[in-house]
Structure 1
């Protein structure tokens, strides 16, 4: 129909045709972009390796460096991997008093961890995956080696961040009953690092659980009296428990195990008691036996939330030489592993392995010892009670 005597010109393309043309153009651009970004998209199932060998699992000595080939994620940047128990490295060693080098501990421990399988052992009658928890290696916290105060804050913030993550769902239900907020919280196996890392960890745990009891395996008290010291030097790998006690992060039901250090006098023992610790010396193993050691630890910490900290120098330097302050006369790796089995069922909210300094190692024996004990940690934290002996007498 003409308007004012003018006849409209016919459209070159209808609207549907124009939309179709636009869609075709977009598809073409997308295809070209994909080809530009990924010019060699191949079907690996048609390649020679896959056709001959198929999908192969990594060997113990191959593949990405994660603990026991666990799923790996940089959890502070990637929250897509839920977990019940996380492996977390804190490569910090700038508050040591003797030999540094424990910043390389997380790497050496992971390298010594066995790959594949379930880590089933006769001692436990189970493997680390048999209890149902979701295990993830969360990598290392990028801790600065230039500023101790900043490093300690970085470790606390990182630990608190992961502690606040939702659990995957297979963790033990008691964690909710002990937490202030009544919620389930994941648990962390920390790879040190020197022993100072325990202070930021206890600060983080205190936000969730309040004061916790500590089982401290070590050749040394780590409760140095720093009352007269002013400034950042107050915090070191020999004084962090004193600081933690000042901040009310621990109960007075904590306990040392494996102590054999040289002391300046009885006043050190008295100060240690004031911090809240009882003591099991290295020699007590000989005098009272391993079962008595286990029972004393269990009685001391009771049924509340428990944190276990393990300095590799607990073990005699003949079997674990790679540590910052070695002391002769320590326990054997086998004795320590037996104690870990005896502690299963306590209310562990976290554990650590510290002071592995691989520069002083020989044939990686210290890292292998640390890894083996960590496997016990993973089962100890999940088991409801110590395992029964597999031997019938």
Structure 2
């Protein structure tokens, strides 16, 4: 059973920095989740430096503790996890980086281990989806972002951080009928920047509509859209308003608060989540590390969902809780 060092016994400034002070070991034995960095940023279109995002998140994550009071669970009562380290990316070569990602993620995915992936720019998600496709076939996608990332190209280039989900649809990696994008906002080149995603098959809830219909309705639509399909959750930190997450490459005002940012992850409880990523953290623009605080907390909530899923499975094996059979899809949403 792998779990973090106890910071009541070992000061947080001691030892090599890993996510949440987990052991840094490449293993697929006796683990339910692994934290993986993909420090690639040469598909970014404006600000770069996202390659330093994984270590920046790790540096702050040492403040995380194992008990989640909002979800009422101690993660490591149910889960074992490690910091798996980073994929060996190839700076400037996105295709070889994708190949490395598939090679590194495949043994993790094949064993049903949940990878919690840190970018890197958003182009890396295409590599993750290729690995998941090899195991599950087309999977559902829940995408939190201020941009749809369904452009056909940037500067004539097909593989950039604004194009991964068009490529994923073209490659048949996604079950688009059960995929949804949430939070899109900001100035666009044309109406097609939103409508193209819908034409590809995604349900899209722009940020203005999020505010109009409210959190509970958004979560209801996510759950109804995804159903019981295996789902990958991708979370661009620029989904959050830059007042709460300034350390990113293409910030857009008018987004969620940090509290809301966490609630959107918590609200995914009950989905059949097989993997997560969090992308586009850019340390050089991160005033007082507030983006790292939020990013590490979002990942903590992602790991919490893994623990809740494991707890629910353990309870449903052969028990009845309080006179009612527990349903693995039970959720307050």
Normalised by the size of structure 1, how large is the TM-score?
0.74
Deviation of the 1:159 alpha carbon: 1.4
**Cα distance between partner residues in 1 of 2:99 and 2:52:** 20
User: Please, which of 58, 71, 88 is the counterpart of residue 23 of structure 2?
Assistant: 71
Paired residue secondary structure (2:276):
strand
- Which whole-Å deviations, capped at 9, do the CAs of 1:356-387 have from their partners, x for residues lacking one? 01011111000010011111101123324677
**Cα distance between partner residues in 1 of 2:44 and 2:155:** 19
Alignment of 1:155 with 2:101, yes or no, is yes
Match of 2:136 in 1: 209
Match of 1:319 in 2: 244
- Which whole-Å deviations, capped at 9, do the CAs of 1:304-355 have from their partners, x for residues lacking one? 1000000000110011000010011111110121122221010001001100
Larger RCO, structure (CA 8 Å, separation 6 or more) = 2
Structure 1 segments, 4+ long, off by >6 Å, are 385-388
Deviation of the 1:127 alpha carbon: 2.3
Deviation of the 1:148 alpha carbon: 2.3
Deviation of the 1:85 alpha carbon: 0.5
User: Please, which of 158, 162, 165 is the counterpart of residue 238 of structure 1?
Assistant: 162
- Which whole-Å deviations, capped at 9, do the CAs of 1:98-130 have from their partners, x for residues lacking one? 111110010011111135742x13211112213
Alignment of 1:247 with 2:193, yes or no, is no
Deviation of the 1:56 alpha carbon: 7.7
The gaps in structure 2 that reach 5 residues or longer are 1-6, 313-328
Match of 2:10 in 1: 58
Moved more, 303-312 or 281-290: 281-290
Alignment of 1:188 with 2:134, yes or no, is no
Match of 2:44 in 1: 96
Deviation of the 1:302 alpha carbon: 1.2
Query: Is contact 2:247–2:281 with CA below 8 Å preserved after alignment?
Result: yes
Alignment of 1:20-39 (within 5 A): none
**Cα distance between partner residues in 1 of 2:273 and 2:254:** 28
Larger radius of gyration: 1
The gaps in structure 1 that reach 5 residues or longer are 1-54, 167-184, 389-393
**Cα distance between partner residues in 2 of 1:359 and 1:227:** 24
- Which whole-Å deviations, capped at 9, do the CAs of 1:34-83 have from their partners, x for residues lacking one? xxxxxxxxxxxxxxxxxxxxx9832233322111111211x2xxx47542
Alignment of 1:90-169 (within 5 A): 90-115=38-63, 117-118=65-66, 120-130=67-77, 132-164=78-110, 166=111
Normalised by the size of structure 2, how large is the TM-score?
0.87
Query: Is contact 2:28–2:113 with CA below 8 Å preserved after alignment?
Result: no
**Cα distance between partner residues in 2 of 1:116 and 1:344:** 20
Paired residue secondary structure (2:252):
coil
Paired residue secondary structure (1:310):
strand
The change in CA–CA distance for 1:228 and 1:334 in structure 2 (over 3 A counts) is closer
Deviation of the 1:207 alpha carbon: 0.5
Match of 2:187 in 1: 262
Q: How many residues align?
A: 306
Paired residue secondary structure (2:75):
coil
Match of 2:316 in 1: none
Paired residue secondary structure (2:70):
coil
**Cα distance between partner residues in 1 of 2:154 and 2:257:** 35
